[in-house]
Amino acid sequence: MSWVFLVGKRAYKLKKPVRYSYLDFSTVEARARDCREEVRLNRRLAPDVYLGVAPLTLSGDGELAIGGRGTPVDWLVLMRRLPRERMLDRALAAGQVDCSEIVSVADRLCEFYENAERADLTPEAYVEQFRREQAKTREVLTDPAFNLDGARIDDVLCRIEDALKEGSALLKARVEARRIIEGHGDLRPEHVCLNTPPVIIDCLEFNRQFRMVDPVDELTFLGLECKRLGDGWIGPALLERYAERLHDRPSRELVAFYWRYRACLRARLSLVHILEHDRRTPEKWLPLARQYLALAVAPELSFDLQADR
């Protein structure tokens, strides 16, 4: 959806003129509006990183410039670059993440969640969002073109769908307890910088509905991604700190649902690259989808949260 240009101590993000069912960047005005929204939302967790919005201008003699005197023909988000080696995914790969850093990340997120805007949706609408996306996930994961293990896929998909049908009260209770907030929406290791204090970037700015999340869902998702990268202790550490700070200890059933749902969703989004966007590199996306599915069907669900004490 965007190009990012790294130049010295700055990063410039230019939106692509694309349109999908969940966003519309097809006009200059829409891209300008989204740039402003991206800066506003990301300053919640990275106030010193998102410096503002700059016009891409075209002069009378045909010269393009950033912030020039010509006519604005597009818009860019201007950011301060972060140290690559301190991004959580890179630090995990290098074996340079300790427990105190994860506690700091959890504390920063807990502060954010505590003060975030509460969601204005009904319990039924919250469950329906999952059902709608899960139907799309089933359609992609059961596509015979991918030759996935049908029995194992069907088992994990049925577990998710049973939770949405028979166990939906668990999800509805989260709305009734006002636990659903306007969160980050795309909390992955590559978006977390282990600075002091930690910085979290690149929230999902283009669709507010996708940002209406349960903090337990977001933290479970981050733990899932860290487990995929080889560090399974991070998810439980995040959830344990959350439970302590916000006095909200999630049940094993709730965490299990979010874990399975997110793993299958990420598998689906990986495969969509083959179906729609990046047909040139199926060798990248199919193995990635299989990694997520292996996590989804793992019997122990790859976490050991002491949630039932």
Query: On the CB side of 235, how many CA atoms lie within 13 Å of its CA?
Result: 30
**Confidence at residue 275, expressed as pLDDT on a 0 to 100 scale:** 81
Q: What is the pLDDT of residue 277?
A: 63
Residue spans of the chain under pLDDT 70: 277-280, 282, 299-309
* pTM attached to this predicted model: 0.93
Q: Quote the pLDDT of residue 308.
A: 41
Cα 152 vs. chain centroid, distance in angstroms?
Answer: 25
- Give the C-alpha separation, 70 to 304, whole Å: 58
